[in-house]
Amino acid sequence: MLTRAVLALTAMSAAVQAQSLELGLPIACQIGSNCWVQQYVDHDPGKDAKDYMCGAEAYDGHDGTDIRIRDTSERGISVIAAAPGIVKAIRGDMPDRLIRSPSDGEQIKNRECGNGVVIDHADGWQTQYCHMRAKSLTVAAGDKVERGTVLGEVGYSGMAAFPHVHLTVRKDGKPVDPFRIAADQTSCGEMAGSLWSAEAQQSLAYRRGDLIALGVAPSPIDMPALEEGKLASQAPMRDWPALVGYVWSINLQKGDEIKVSLQGPSGVSTENADRLDRNRAQYMLFAGSKRPTEGWAPGEYIVRATVTRDGSIAVEQQISTRID
């Protein structure tokens, strides 16, 4: 009985400590619209990874929360202080460069955070913001900041495979998960002892997969073109050699079926589907047709994407575009 009482008091103490820091979002964006949670803190003590909901939206040893923007062409999205405090340290002169190979990673060894800011808060709490855009920082060591103070811009410096802000939260020097402060940091399954404000919690509701872009292109798609924003503003033309509808997704699960279709005038109808054999941090799928002899007919073209999980649609989205 005494042992159980001590354990209960330990867990209660952790919960009380959690209430001494309340976090707002570390980024000025709309979650699910122009930014998305890509990865969470890893709760698995071994070589595998699991997030605070026991899902796969983490990787081995990941100690923070990654909130991404769509692609590298997007600029001016601010990283902001999640809580009031004093800036402890900054770095702001590393170039923005996506990590695509092990050799890329070797070049930033011991500087994996890239450009970033560390803020000290009361009672031994600390937050760190990583991968910010080169030369965008607006604060200096020693500055006092409030929740919402602009620190700089989202970028992709350091060990970044996509543009995002990585937020690490520490208590007395040790990383903790702001979604789940518990006596057993390897446990998962629900939000518990959250550090997030009520407003932030609502924005950060857990999502098992998202569609972050749908569009059309004149040829088959490759992931680098998406990541660099080369397709974001294209509008279809009658003389395009092909018409391709595509979907870009994140955090899909093993067994999910993803489907994309393109429908349009004069009988244009094509689709493509795939059932995933493993979890996918990001995935792209497209369906298209070659241009008819007379060119693409004027009218409305619709790209629709769905993710089916356990027999029902889990995520769906569509867009329309026109050829005049």
pLDDT in tens, 239-271: 999 999 999 999 999 999 999 999 999 999 999
Model confidence over 22-32: pLDDT tens digits? 999 999 999 99
Model confidence at 98, pLDDT cuts 50, 70, 90, reads very high
Q: What is the CA radius of gyration of the chain?
A: 22
**What average pLDDT score do residues 129-153 get?**
98
What integer pLDDT is reported at residue 20 of this predicted model?
A: 83
Residue spans of beta strands (DSSP E) within 57-110: 65-68, 78-80, 85-91
CA 69 vs CA 23, 154, 286, 324: distances in Å: 20, 8, 21, 31
Does 231 or 273 have the greater pLDDT score?
Answer: 273
Domains and CATH numbers, the chain: 21-203 (2.70.70.10), 210-323 (2.60.40.2550)
Residue length of the chain: 324
What integer pLDDT is reported at residue 19 of this predicted model?
A: 55
Looking only at the bridges linking them, the beta strands covering 125-132 and 36-39 are unpaired
pTM of the predicted model, to two decimals?
0.92
- Residue 7 pLDDT > 50: no
140: Cβ–Cβ under 8 A, 6 or more apart, which residues? 87, 90
